[in-house]
Amino acid sequence: MRYALNCIPLLANDTLSFLIRFFQRAFICGVAALTHFKLVAGYKGSAEMVLAIERGEVDGMCGWDWPSLKAQRPDWVRDNKVNILAQFSLEPDPELTKRGVPPIWDFIKDEADRKPVELVLSQQVFGRPYIAPPGTPPQTVKLLRDAFTAVLSDKDFRAEAEKAQIPVNPMDGDKVQDVVSRIYASPPAVVQRAKELIAD
């Protein structure tokens, strides 16, 4: 990250699903942490972006989560071929912290930017949520939540996920609901600053 504070590294970027995440995180770094990234668009997905790194076309990519990196390029982690600049999350990952990767909060110089950055990053908490429509009876919501918790805690299910190298890190529905409520309760000034941080 110190390197990024003093140069203009090239970050791979695609034109579809990763676009929003890349702009959000790269511009959070660029505006709030005073770094300067140049996004190289046009890659079709993470696989092409990884190849671009290996070919030396770009210096890195943004938004590749830790479990996916470990599963897709275990040799990069094992042989220390990759430098992880910062943790983009509300709470630091213990494993990354142990490896000396600083949280993004270490680079947010202006306290006025902290809440807006928290707002942008909060969406990571519920990466792939399952939702029910408004008006769903509380007992039905509880039944669904309990069912998901039971499946995701099942030993056979966890064993199959591990075999397929699919990380399973579920969050309880009530905790996700709390995060969503806090997002919608964000003051207008915080929302506006968040928009400024991720604007191109």
Instruction: For residue range 58-86, list pLDDT tens digits in order.
Output: 888 877 788 888 888 889 999 988 888 88
**Are 51 and 97 in a shared domain?**
yes
**Are 82 and 133 in a shared domain?**
no
- Chain-wide mean pLDDT for the chain? 79
Which residue, of 109, 138, 169, is where some domain finishes? 109
For 45, the token pair is 């997905």
Q: How far apart are CA 12 and CA 47, in angstroms?
A: 11
What CATH number corresponds to the domain at position 27? Answer: 3.40.190
State the residue range of the domain holding 145.
125-188
Which residue, of 51, 75, 109, is where some domain finishes? 109
pLDDT in tens, 89-135: 888 889 999 999 998 888 787 778 888 888 888 877 777 788 899 99
Single pTM value for the model: 0.66
Residue 92 lies in a domain: yes
**Are 20 and 85 in a shared domain?**
yes
Residue 200 lies in a domain: no
**Are 27 and 84 in a shared domain?**
yes
Q: Nearest-CA neighbor of 22 among 88, 114, 106, 75?
A: 88
DSSP assigned state of 87: B
Quote the number of domains for the chain.
Answer: 2
Residue 74 lies in a domain: yes
**Are 163 and 138 in a shared domain?**
yes
Residue 199 lies in a domain: no
Residue 141 lies in a domain: yes
The C-alpha angle with vertex 66 and arms to 128 and 126, in degrees rounded to 5, equals 20
**Are 59 and 89 in a shared domain?**
yes
Q: Nearest-CA neighbor of 171 among 122, 121, 132, 129?
A: 129
Residue 116 lies in a domain: no
